[in-house]
Homo-oligomer: A and B are copies of this chain.
Amino acid sequence: MADIDVAQVADAEVAELVRAEVDFRWPEGVAGLDEVARYGLVPFGKMMGPWLLIRSSLAVGGEIRPVLPAAVAVECIQVGAMMHDDIIDGDPQRRGKPAAHAVFGTPTAVVGGDGLFFHGFAALSECGKAGVPAARVGRALTVLSEAGLRIGSAAVEEIRMGRTICSVEKYLAMIKDKSGALLWMACGVGATLAGADESSVAALRRYSDLLGIGYQIRDDMMAYDGTRAGKPNVSDVRNGRPTLPVLLAHRRAPRDRQRVIERLLADTASPAEERHDAMAELVHEFDGIRSAREMSHRYVRMAAMALNDLPPTEHRTALIELTVPGRLV
């Protein structure tokens, strides 16, 4: 297999490599569990996980080829988690097409998500054959499974927090595990597979946690300020999710308007579109979007600073560029 000139690899090429790898593993026409996996994986998403994994690996002196199976692994696990999220949230759309549970039925989508998790760990184990020393695969296994546990804990927490107002601090702690751990899964696996030292691993951990918070706030904002690609805007309100723009607006609103926000979150009866529009109006009236945007900027700036402990390479630069508002979606 011809090796890739690391210095020459542009972002688009990284994504293309992972896409080719996924397409090779789950070619068009696969059946059974693999058909469900391919349905979730293709059309491809932003490939942020694989991109972060590969860049993190390169940033600590690694190479692309040996970690390519792990890049597929984090994509599998993210897509599996989304498949289950869509069941939980009752979201009928994903990546611009019907969600897996809407096509295959909920039972098959439950098993399909499970299958993607196991595919992820199977792909990780291939890194050993691809030349990564076994001890590094073991370290990456710890990172991957513990990150998955953080994401699961956040999901349980998020379900419990539904339909009520909580403190901003509690919400930030939840999304640190929900989205920070998702990015950490990628950065941490990439770095440990490349044999990174503890200080680089710790820098990437701070980076991914902070970037994940910033990323999630941006995602929360989109429900009230713009169009979320392929996902209905009303999902958060329909599911009574107290996202950051709502919590920040609630904090600024007078008591009587706070009560309206609380009622909209708790309401399960009136049409979701109606509730969404009323909530969006309140979020804007009490500056929820502007305050959330400021917080998001603050977190991604801190994420960039966290990388000071990494060696100054073009890959560190690429990771820092991801924190520039506008790049991050």
* CB of A145 closer than 8 Å to a CB of B: yes
Given A88-B111, A152-B33, A153-B33, residue A145 in contact with residue B118 (CB < 8 A) = yes
Quick check: A115 and B153 within 8 Å, CB to CB? Answer: yes
Q: Which of A202-251 contact B (CB under 8 A)?
A: none
In chain A, residues 104-157, which have Cβ atoms closer than 8 Å to a Cβ of chain B? Answer: 105, 107-108, 110-115, 117-122, 124-125, 128, 133-135, 137-138, 141-142, 144-146, 148-149, 152-153, 155-157
The interface residues of chain B lying within 8 Å CB-to-CB of A81 are 114
Residues of B contacting A128 in the complex (Cβ-Cβ under 8 angstroms): 135, 138
B138 touches A134 (CB 8 A): yes
CB-contacts of A155-214 with B (<8 A): 155-157, 159-160
Q: Which residue, A33, A135, A159, has most C-beta atoms of chain B within 10 A?
A: A33
What sequence of 0s and 1s flags, for each residue 88-103 of chain A, a beta carbon within 8 Å of any chain B beta carbon?
A: 1000000000000000
Which residues of chain B come closer than 8 Å to A112, judged between CB atoms?
152, 156
Size range of the chain A interface in the assembly: 35 or more
Chain B residues within an 8 Å CB radius of A125: 138, 141-142, 145
A254 within 8 A of B: no
CB distance from A201 to the nearest CB of B (A): 15
* A326 contacts B by Cβ under 8 Å: no
Is A111 in contact with B152, judged by CB distance below 8 angstroms? yes
* Interchain nearest-CB distance for A322 vs B (Å): 26
For the complex, is A36 an interface residue (Cβ under 8 Å from B)? yes
Which residues in B have their C-beta under 8 angstroms from that of A36?
A: 156
Q: How many copies does the complex hold?
A: 2
Q: Is residue A318 contacting chain B, with contact meaning CB distance below 8 A? A: no
Question: In the complex the two chains form, what is the Cα distance from A160 to B284 in whole Å?
Answer: 48
The reply on A271 being an interface residue by CB < 8 A is no
CA of A178 to CA of B138 in the docked complex: distance in angstroms?
A: 28
> CA of A146 to CA of B134 in the docked complex: distance in angstroms?
18
Given contacts A36-B156, A88-B107, A156-B112, contact A149 B134 (CB under 8 A): no
List the B side residues contacting A117 at CB < 8 Å.
Answer: 114, 117-118, 148
Pair A88/B115 contact, Cβ less than 8 Å: no
In this assembly, does A84 line the interface, its C-beta being within 8 Å of a C-beta of chain B?
yes
Q: Could you tell me the distance between the alpha carbons of A160 and B104 in the complex, rounded to whole angstroms?
A: 10
- Report the minimal beta-carbon distance from A217 to chain B, rounded to whole angstroms: 22
Chain B residue numbers with a CB within 8 Å of A115 are 148-149, 152-153, 156
Q: Is the CB of A152 within 8 A of B107?
A: no
Alpha-carbon separation in the docked complex, A142 to B144 (Å): 15
Q: Are the CB atoms of B121 and A145 closer together than 8 Å?
A: yes
Whether a CB of chain B sits under 8 angstroms from the CB of A87 is: yes
Interface residues as binary, A60-103 with B (CB distance below 8 Å gives 1, 0 otherwise): 00000000000000000000010010011000000000000000
Q: Judge whether B32 and A111 touch: CB under 8 Å.
A: no
Q: Smallest CB–CB gap between A83 and chain B, Å?
A: 10
A–B Cβ pairs within 8 angstroms, 14 of them: A32-B153, A107-B159, A112-B156, A114-B155, A117-B148, A118-B145, A118-B146, A118-B148, A118-B152, A119-B149, A121-B141, A124-B141, A125-B138, A134-B135
Closest 7 CB pairs of A and B: A118-B148, A134-B134, A122-B145, A115-B152, A121-B145, A88-B107, A125-B141
